[in-house]
């Protein structure tokens, strides 16, 4: 009984915090729409950024430190606009750039040579930051190369950070430790995989090979001989990041080509490879000078096992949702409906999940879909936000695979919408 009491008090405080956040988020909407009256160019993104900051702040206040995983579990599993995820992952690593001597040291440790001896030229100043490392420009035999170097100690810090999160997370989410463990392990495993650069080179080469029949998409070559557990060497891809590409005012036709390439790439991965690039961060895509989509960074690959793939795509692609029995069966298989749910709970969750999936599957239901349709994206965002604030959805539901699959799919939608691409979605 005592335990119950203490959790209840916590809940009151917690709800107070959430209400406060709710008000702030409401305020952000007001601010957004007032601003929009005067400045029609104002993007939804700014609003999402504002919201994310407020929600993030209250979450991190609740727990005292930036606990990304708990945030990922509680928010990411419902529909979550891209900006939120970015804000959350911002807290993940805030390492200062590597010093020149440490870069030299990393090379001599793994290759017994300094970078200037390995490459013809090597720029000691990094050209940009990757999520857990930094990228340097180099040349060798007339080829332009990108060399990615990982910050030391990242892998170590992941496991210890996650241990730190755990006791907070399972109280905050109202899950038992055992339930939470399933999700935590998934996140931990994926994050650790991202730190394994040898694996990343292998995966990148495999995916580039498997996807080479797709049109309008290109992958860099990787050089295992100049790669190590902490260093990846690949071709330097000339190109514009999506934001820069959009700033050049591309024609609708050009946008469609890129959007279509992205869409086909993901469909091919999901249905043919049954494994996908699970980090559709805009920074991982480039538009090359010949108008193709360049894909970088296969550090985070999510595999789709059969027992997930089958029910998940039955719900999305077929007319399963019109058949109550079959729908329920799929929901149960995906643990969106749990064995202990009573009839009332089942009704409740089935109806909300059905709405959610119908909304999400809209692009799949047509021959072509216009992702420039702001109304659709807005509906999606608003629905996600509403659900994430419903107490019934505060507790994580669904099999562990949802974490990365949802992150990927909504990331994909967000990029397509930013591109404003019209995509042939018929299969």
Partner 1 sequence: MPNKDQKEKIRAAYIDYVLSKGERPSTVYVFMKELELPEEDFYKHFSTFDAVEASAWRAFFNHTLDTIKTQDVFAGYSSREKILAFYYGLVEHLKAHRSYVTWCFKNTSKIQFSNPVYLTDFKKMFEEFANDVIQEGISSGEIIDRKFISDKYKDALWVQLIFIIHFWIDDNSTEFEKTDEAIEKGVNITFDLMAQSPLDSMVEYGKFLWRNVAFKK
| The two three-digit tokens of residue 383, written as one number | 């629905």
Q: Is 101 in the site for partner 1 (CB under 8 A)?
A: yes
Nearest to 312 by CA among 344, 280, 360: 360
Alpha helices in 142-176 (DSSP H): 154-172
Q: Which of 13, 61, 116, 303 binds partner 1 (CB under 8 A)?
A: 116
* Residues 271 and 312 sit within 8 Å (Cβ to Cβ): no
Q: Is 152 in the site for partner 1 (CB under 8 A)?
A: yes
Q: Is 102 in the site for partner 1 (CB under 8 A)?
A: yes
Q: DSSP code of 310?
A: H
Nearest to 95 by CA among 133, 64, 147: 133
| The two three-digit tokens of residue 139, written as one number | 């040349």
Site string for partner 1, 214-233 (x = CB under 8 A): ---------------x----
CB of 60 to partner 1, least distance (A): 23
Q: How far apart are the first and last CA of the chain?
A: 55
Q: Is 156 in the site for partner 1 (CB under 8 A)?
A: yes
* Residues 195 and 157 sit within 8 Å (Cβ to Cβ): no
Q: Is 104 in the site for partner 1 (CB under 8 A)?
A: yes
With contacts defined by CB under 8 A, name the span among 152-160, 183-191, 197-205, 331-339 that binds partner 1.
Answer: 152-160
Please say which residue, 110 or 352, places its beta carbon nearer to partner 1: 110
Please say which residue, 155 or 275, places its beta carbon nearer to partner 1: 155
Q: Site for partner 1 (CB under 8 A): how many residues?
A: 19
Any residues with CB less than 8 A from the CB of 338 and at least 6 apart, and which? 397
| The two three-digit tokens of residue 292, written as one number | 């193709």
Q: Is 105 in the site for partner 1 (CB under 8 A)?
A: yes
Q: Is 318 in the site for partner 1 (CB under 8 A)?
A: no
Please say which residue, 119 or 410, places its beta carbon nearer to partner 1: 119
Please say which residue, 152 or 174, places its beta carbon nearer to partner 1: 152
Consecutive H or E run containing 217: strand 217-218
Contact set with partner 1 (CB under 8 A): 96, 98-102, 104-106, 108-110, 114, 116, 124, 152-153, 156, 229
């Amino acid at each position: 009984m005592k335990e119950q009491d203490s959790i209840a008090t916590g809940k009151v405080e917690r709800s107070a915090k959430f209400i406060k956040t709710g008000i702030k988020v409401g305020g952000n909407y007001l601010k957004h729409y007032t601003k929009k009256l005067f400045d029609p160019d104002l993007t939804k993104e700014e609003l999402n950024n504002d919201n994310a900051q407020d929600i993030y702040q209250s979450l991190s206040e609740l727990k005292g430190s930036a606990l990304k995983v708990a945030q990922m579990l509680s928010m990411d599993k419902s529909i979550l606009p891209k900006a939120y995820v970015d804000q959350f992952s911002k807290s993940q690593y805030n390492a200062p750039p590597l010093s020149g001597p440490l870069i030299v040291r990393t090379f001599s440790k793994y290759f017994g040579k300094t970078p200037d001896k390995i490459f013809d030229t090597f720029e000691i100043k990094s050209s940009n930051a990757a999520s857990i490392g930094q990228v340097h420009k180099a040349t060798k035999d007339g080829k332009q190369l990108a060399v990615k170097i990982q910050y030391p100690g990242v892998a170590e810090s992941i496991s210890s950070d996650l241990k730190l999160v755990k006791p907070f997370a399972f109280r905050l989410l109202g899950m038992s430790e055992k339930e939470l463990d399933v999700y935590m392990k998934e996140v931990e495993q994926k994050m650790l995989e991202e730190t394994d650069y040898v694996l990343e080179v292998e995966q990148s080469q495999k995916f580039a090979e498997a996807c080479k029949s797709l049109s309008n998409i290109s992958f860099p070559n990787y050089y295992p001989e100049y790669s190590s557990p902490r260093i990846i060497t690949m071709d330097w891809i000339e190109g514009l990041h999506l934001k820069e590409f959009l700033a050049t005012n591309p024609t609708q036709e050009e946008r469609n080509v890129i959007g279509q390439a992205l869409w086909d790439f993901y469909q091919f991965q999901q249905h043919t490879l049954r494994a996908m690039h699970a980090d559709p961060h805009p920074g991982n895509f480039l538009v090359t000078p010949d108008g193709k989509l360049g894909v970088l960074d296969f550090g985070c690959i999510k595999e789709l096992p059969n027992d997930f793939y089958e029910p998940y795509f039955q719900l999305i692609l077929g007319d399963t949702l019109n058949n109550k029995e079959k729908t329920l069966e799929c929901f149960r298989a995906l643990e969106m409906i749990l064995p202990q749910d009573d009839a009332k709970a089942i009704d409740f969750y089935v109806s909300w999940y059905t709405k959610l999936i119908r909304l999400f599957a809209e692009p799949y239901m047509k021959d072509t879909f216009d992702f420039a349709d702001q109304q659709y994206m807005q509906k999606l965002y608003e629905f996600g936000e509403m659900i994430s604030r419903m107490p019934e959805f505060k507790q994580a539901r669904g099999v562990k695979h949802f974490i990365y699959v949802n992150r990927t799919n909504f990331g994909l939608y967000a990029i397509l919408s930013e591109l404003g691409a019209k995509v042939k979605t018929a299969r």
